[in-house]
A and B are shown apart, each in its own frame.
Chain A
Amino acid sequence: MVRERRRIMLTILAIAWATFAISTMLAIGEGLRLNFAKTVANSGNNLLTFKGGHTSIVYLGLPAGRKIYLTKSDYARIANLPNIKHMTPVYSVFAKMRYGDKNLNKEALLVNEQYAKIHNIDLLPGGRFISKLDLLQKRRVIVLGEKTSQDLFPNNPNPIGLYLYFANELYRIIGVMQHKSEMMGRHDNDAMMNWLPSSLHKTFGGFQAIDSIDITYKNADRLVALENWIGRIVARNHGLDPNDENIVHFRDYAVRQENINSFFLGLEVFLGLVGLLTLIVAGVGIANVMFATVNRDTCEIGIKMALGAKRYQIIWPYIKESSFAMLQGGFFGVVLSGALVFLLGLIPLHGKLFEVIGRPKAVLSFGVIVVVILSLGVVGMLAGFFPALKASKIDPARAVSYE
């Protein structure tokens, strides 16, 4: 009896360890998935960007391989399409940026007021993004990216209201971007960018083509149709073959987000399976203890059968006992896992890598706990069921005289 009690205690410990393993693994997987989903979403949700491509079909006597540049006319017609939520033209400019004695080569994007919504850009308190009025009045205002602000104003975290020179023109700083971790940015990371009103693009002279158009769409199911319409509009505006698929280059971020999400979901499932394997080993331990218990109880089972116990009345106590052992071990395991997840969250994550990928934290979410409880329940039931089935098949005539 003492030996069996010790064996059950050890089994409960094994279950606690297995639950700890499965919960922690799933929590780490869940944390990674949520972190990367958020980091990727920071580049923009339902984001589609596109730029001019080149012709790949000979059409109306013109050769293949001609470069296509998006124009204001393209932009205006595309803006009328349904399924577009936000839209901005993007002109890219490289120029010297100067403040005091600091003189840096920086890139600025000339965009409209919707860019901040498209790319999930939040600003430091007191700042704002480019407005419609800025665009209409062609104000010389600039929103700084996080990195530019740090480079130019290392001792001033929020230089709103100050003036700087960009391409030898004076600009007033109206906003500074808040930090965000980001992957798959449109132009490197937004932290490296700066933004000006798109209506100023002519002041930079040179070729006036739109570098790209960034949009967010309303309905992902109609994305293919939207891309087809954009292709047709550009083809018609430029006198190109509408069947030429290369005249516009699309980058669909939702597909990339989905791929990354699928990868981390797969990783989470893998980690969960590793934990489940440990749990199954513990379940086998419980089953062994239960088989030993059934052997010990043979005479008692025979007596109960003789007194009229039906099959389920023999089976149920063993399933209850194994499930209870699972529950006890599972409880300790989840508590331990919760403690570890809490401690892991206290570890500071510094460095360039974490600025890009964010700071992943293990998350013992409701979903993870439900998966753990279900796994424990199923393994516990099975661990008790087979020994119980053996018990219910005992021959009562032999069992009543079993020593």
Chain B
Amino acid sequence: MNLVELKNISKIYKTGAVKFIALEQINLTINKGEYLAILGPSGSGKSTLMHILGCLSTPTSGDYLLNGKNVASLSVNQLAKVRNQNIGFVFQNFNLLANLNIVDNVALPLVYRGIAKEERTKKAKELLTHFGLGGHFSHHANELSGGQQQRVAIARSLITEPDIILADEPTGNLDSKSGDDVIHMLEKLNRDGKTIIIVTHDEKIAERTKQIIRIVDGKIM
């Protein structure tokens, strides 16, 4: 069974009488364990595609089968549950909460799953230690370097053991060395069996993945 199957997905934004087609008749299949890049220039629709793949927004038309289940028309709370259980996000801006320390940031997805504090803290600390941040548990995001913050974000994306990791320009705010470290980390996760999707406009990053999906003007080339 395919992990992800997009069938004739379109996304149209309407502002008054003006219609903007962000995605048009997208068909895409992703299997478990794949490592692929969605590549395209700014405004091509790659972020919209990532939002749909991550269940952050729903398509205007078409079907999105995730683990065989159509998630295109789920309710807000049902989509939240799917995101929590099936998808891990890594953002360009790291998107860590400034008022929480890194342990609480990593543990946050488990809060929404109703896991007890002791258990989620233990799991978060294990992951942070695994990513070389064992000595920074009490630190807040602004006390870490960009590379460290992105490692925290990757740890957070893994804590729910999701089916897919969606990384949106994961090296966009990092220097080349830190960016390289992050890509290495994602490659290792893929080798361990995780399905990784990187959304990027950077050809070099995309070339390091196993498969590239090029998107231009809302269509897959």
Q: Which residues of A contact B (CB under 8 A)?
A: 299-300, 303-311, 313, 395-397, 400-401
Contact = CB atoms under 8 A, between A and B. Distances in A.
Given A303-B97, A307-B89, A308-B113, A400 B56 contact: yes
Given A304-B112, A307-B156, A397-B56, 12 more contacts: A299-B95, A300-B97, A306-B54, A306-B56, A307-B108, A309-B80, A310-B80, A310-B81, A310-B112, A311-B77, A311-B80, A395-B57
Contacts of A310: 76-77, 80-81, 112
A396 B95 contact: no
Contact of B84 (A303, A308, A400, A401): A308
Contact of A307 (B47, B83, B93): B83
Contacts of A397: 48, 51, 56-57
Nearest to B99: A300
Contacts of B84: 307-308
B112 A309 contact: yes
B95 A303 contact: yes
A310 B77 CA distance: 5
Contacts of B80: 305, 308-311
B64 interface: no
A25 to B, nearest CB: 40
A395 to B, nearest CB: 7
Given A300-B97, A307-B83, A396 B108 contact: no
B83 A306 contact: yes
Nearest to A312: B77
A300 B83 CA distance: 16
Contacts of B54: 306
Contact of A306 (B77, B89, B113): B89
Contact of A308 (B47, B97, B112): B112
A396 B89 CA distance: 12
B195 interface: no
B115 to A, nearest CB: 12
Interface residues of B, number: 24
Contacts of B47: 401
B120 to A, nearest CB: 12
B160 interface: yes
A300 B47 CA distance: 19
B98 to A, nearest CB: 8
A311 B51 contact: no
B81 A308 contact: yes
Nearest to A313: B112
B60 interface: no
Nearest to B95: A303
A400 B54 CA distance: 12
B40 interface: no
Given A300-B97, A396-B56, A397-B56, A307 B51 contact: no
A307 B55 CA distance: 11
B85 interface: yes
Contacts of A303: 95, 97
24 contacts: A303-B95, A303-B97, A304-B112, A305-B80, A305-B83, A306-B56, A306-B83, A306-B89, A307-B83, A307-B84, A308-B81, A308-B83, A308-B84, A308-B85, A308-B109, A308-B160, A310-B76, A310-B81, A310-B112, A311-B76, A395-B57, A400-B89, A400-B91, A401-B93
Nearest to B51: A397
Interface string B65-84: 00000000000110011011
A313 B108 CA distance: 12
Contacts of A308: 80-81, 83-85, 109, 112-113, 160
A177 to B, nearest CB: 71
A299 B93 CA distance: 11
Interface in B129-175: 156, 160
B52 to A, nearest CB: 9
A307 B112 contact: yes
B102 to A, nearest CB: 14
Contacts of B113: 308
Contacts of A309: 80, 112
A385 B149 CA distance: 33
Given A299-B95, A300-B97, A307 B109 contact: yes
Give the most central of A306, A307, A395: most B CB within 10 Å: A307
Contacts of A307: 83-84, 89, 108-109, 112, 156
Contacts of A305: 56, 80, 83
Nearest to B50: A397
B184 to A, nearest CB: 24
Nearest to B92: A401
Contacts of A306: 54, 56, 83, 89, 95
A317 to B, nearest CB: 11
Give the most central of B80, B91, B108, B109: most A CB within 10 Å: B80
A401 B57 CA distance: 13
Give the most central of B48, B93, B156: most A CB within 10 Å: B93
A39 to B, nearest CB: 59
Nearest to B83: A308
Give the most central of B48, B84, B112, B113: most A CB within 10 Å: B112
A397 B85 CA distance: 18
B158 to A, nearest CB: 12
Interface in B13-67: 47-48, 51, 54, 56-57
Contacts of B109: 307-308
The 9 A-B pairs with the shortest beta carbon distances in the complex, nearest first, are A308-B84, A397-B51, A397-B56, A397-B57, A308-B112, A307-B109, A303-B95, A396-B56, A310-B77
A311 B77 CA distance: 6
